[in-house]
Amino acid sequence: MNTPSRSARLLRTLPWLALALALLYAGAALLPARDGRFALSQFARLPIVDLGRPKPLDTFARSTLLIVSNKQSFYLAETDGTADRSEAKGHAERSALEWLLDVMARPEVARGYRIVRIDHPDIKAVLGADPERKYFSLDEIVLRRAEIEAQIQRANEVPAGDRNSYQRAILELAQHLSVYFHAESVAELLLVPPTAAGTEWTTITAERHQVDEHGGDSPATDAYLQVMQGWRDDDPAVFASAVAQYQQWLGTAQPRLMRKIDMEVRFNHAAIFLRAIGLYVIVFLLAALSWLRMTPALVKSALWVLCVALVLHTLGLVARTVIQGRPPVTNLYSSAIFVGWGAAVLGLVLERFYRNGIGAVTAAGTGFLTLLVAHNLSLDGDTMTMMQAVLDTNFWLATHVVVITLGYASTFLAGFLGILYILRGVFTRGLGAQEQTSLTRMIYGIVCFATLFSFVGTILGGIWADQSWGRFWGWDPKENGALLIVLWNALVLHARWGGMIRQRGLAVMAVAGNIVTSWSWFGTNMLGVGLHAYGFIDSAIFWMFTFVGTQLGLIGLGLLPLHRWRSMQATSQVRAPRSVKQPTAPPLAPPAPESPR
């Protein structure tokens, strides 16, 4: 019904519209949190040292609630056990910070909240509880204290490697409970920052002791007593004045610390990576739509939204780096963030050269998936963990770890391009001769990159190992995993140069690279051996197998005879038989992408 000129105008404005919406969505991250009756946003900015790191109470509250209950907020209605989460929506929500205040100031009330997550049916049986329930209150658990303690002790007596799933689960519960009890013991938390040079963070108990012995001020003790009082008596004015006064004192005593704390609270509130996930989904949809009807406007919109997503992703990465004072990759979580970032940047570069939506789709796809992985990894608690002494060197973290992670990223990107090649070729008519050539070139180029990064990264790792414990190469599982990526990429390149694989073969082998990379990245940690094993999660094994399964399925699709590929039916050209041999031995490295299909 639209006249051509109107639809053309609409198409012209589409990219601008997309950009504006994306910017709005991203910009909303910068809006400050709005307080209700209580000055919670200021309370959030009070500092604490937990797990060896100064952090805002905001982070402490979030990570503690995450560990105990696997979520960042809950609904009060859930806590009486009658409603599940979906029914409880719309009822009064308790944020992590409010919950922490309850735990600190009104522990008897907080202990009644059903928020301790228990999944293992045998533990529920020990509690004598309904197997359908997921969340339990501390009161309920303490009721069975003797039995639980006995169970924990029994599990503890079994050597770590021989524990069954029940024993692992009960020890996990024990650890969660100790985190809860830790948060409850306000006077024993490291809430008091050092007041003079050479002194350390200390507790309220210690501060009071100090004042009793030597006199002087106790700003932290005074502040927390009033804050707790205000919260207990439901008196926002007392609460606010105590927090404000203490904030003022902190601002003059610890200006640098407080700036960092402020930044971290803003970072927590902005939920940057979740926003980036949303934008990546939009980019993916826009670019995929553009192939149904090849419109430059859609490709352009995808590209611009991608840029916004990437800026957001980069900001998050930089913020973490600054807050932590560390290179970007320090643990499994941050490696996921960084892998996504690296892949998205490379994808954007591809899009810049080819402008056909492929780079945008792969950037969005890898960005989305890796951020999703990261989000699930973040459910373990604080993601800015301190590092074991041997890993604690900025130089090697900045070189080896960053480079090897870029190796993961580029291998994944190549694999994702391979998936596109297969899916578009098998299921659509969109993979014409031109798309085949350009996709192959992209895969080839990215595999070259991956080889470079994984090779240099692996060897830098060896050099670090030589520096740390005198062994360049220890055949440790993580080292072996990294080496496998190098060898796989080298194999792909040599097979291409030798004419053993062509365009389709390259795509299929790139997908297999995904399996190799996921093995190196996650699989090796699951073996539970080696100095590098920095993270092990039971459910991760399931997802690892699922991922490998999907990749094997895609490889199977890619190996279907070409006449079953819809794109190949469409072109219906006569192809040279696959077994044609090149007349002479190939030179060592012919410029591969130009060779015929």
Which positions lie near other proteins, rule CB under 8 A?
Answer: 49-53, 160-161, 190, 200-201, 353, 386, 388-390, 392-393, 396, 441, 445, 448-449, 451-452, 455-456, 459-460, 462-464, 466-477, 480-481, 483-484, 487-488, 490-491, 494-495, 497-498, 500, 516, 519, 524, 527-531, 585-589, 591
Identity of the residue numbered 55: K
Q: Which of 328, 324, 333 is nearest to 345 (CA)?
A: 328
Nearer to other proteins, 340 or 462 (CB): 462
Between CA 310 and CA 382 the distance in angstroms is: 24
Shortest spacing between CB 183 and other proteins, in angstroms: 13
Nearer to other proteins, 74 or 455 (CB): 455
Nearer to other proteins, 79 or 405 (CB): 405
Between CA 375 and CA 369 the distance in angstroms is: 10
Q: How far is CA 188 from the centre of its chain?
A: 31
Identity of the residue numbered 465: A
Shortest spacing between CB 484 and other proteins, in angstroms: 6
Shortest spacing between CB 290 and other proteins, in angstroms: 20
Residues whose CB is less than 8 angstroms from the CB of residue 117 and which lie 6 or more positions away in sequence, other chains included: 68, 69, 70, 134, 135, 136, 176
Nearer to other proteins, 44 or 483 (CB): 483
Shortest spacing between CB 444 and other proteins, in angstroms: 9
Q: Quick one: CA dihedral 520, 525, 529, 533, positive or negative?
A: positive
CB neighbours of residue 575 within 10 Å:
11
Nearer to other proteins, 25 or 473 (CB): 473
Residue with tokens 């990894």: 377
Q: Which of 375, 456, 353, 447 is nearest to 409 (CA)?
A: 447
Contact yes or no for 91/76 (Cβ under 8 A): yes
Identity of the residue numbered 226: Q
Nearer to other proteins, 51 or 274 (CB): 51
Shortest spacing between CB 206 and other proteins, in angstroms: 12
Shortest spacing between CB 590 and other proteins, in angstroms: 10
Between CA 195 and CA 198 the distance in angstroms is: 9
* Cα angle 207-212-214, degrees, rounded to a multiple of 5: 90
Nearer to other proteins, 221 or 524 (CB): 524
Contact yes or no for 32/81 (Cβ under 8 A): no
**Straight-line distance from the first to the last Cα atom of the chain, in angstroms, rounded to the nearest whole number:** 44
Q: Which of 267, 225, 264 is nearest to 246 (CA)?
A: 225
Nearer to other proteins, 75 or 521 (CB): 521
Nearer to other proteins, 3 or 434 (CB): 434
Q: Which of 375, 343, 373 is nearest to 361 (CA)?
A: 343
Shortest spacing between CB 218 and other proteins, in angstroms: 20
Residue with tokens 């509880």: 129
Nearer to other proteins, 181 or 469 (CB): 469
Nearer to other proteins, 505 or 558 (CB): 505
Nearer to other proteins, 16 or 395 (CB): 395
Nearer to other proteins, 372 or 398 (CB): 398
Nearer to other proteins, 289 or 349 (CB): 349
Between CA 410 and CA 473 the distance in angstroms is: 24
Shortest spacing between CB 144 and other proteins, in angstroms: 29
Between CA 222 and CA 245 the distance in angstroms is: 10
Residues whose CB is less than 8 angstroms from the CB of residue 501 and which lie 6 or more positions away in sequence, other chains included: 492, 495, 508, 509
Cβ neighbourhood burial of 560 (10 Å; 0-12, 13-18, 19+): middle
Shortest spacing between CB 387 and other proteins, in angstroms: 8
Contact yes or no for 370/313 (Cβ under 8 A): no
Contact yes or no for 458/399 (Cβ under 8 A): no
Q: Which of 446, 581, 591, 435 is nearest to 504 (CA)?
A: 435
Q: Which of 421, 432, 417 is nearest to 513 (CA)?
A: 417
Shortest spacing between CB 26 and other proteins, in angstroms: 30
Cβ neighbourhood burial of 293 (10 Å; 0-12, 13-18, 19+): exposed
Contact yes or no for 265/29 (Cβ under 8 A): no
Structure tokens at 305: 């939204």
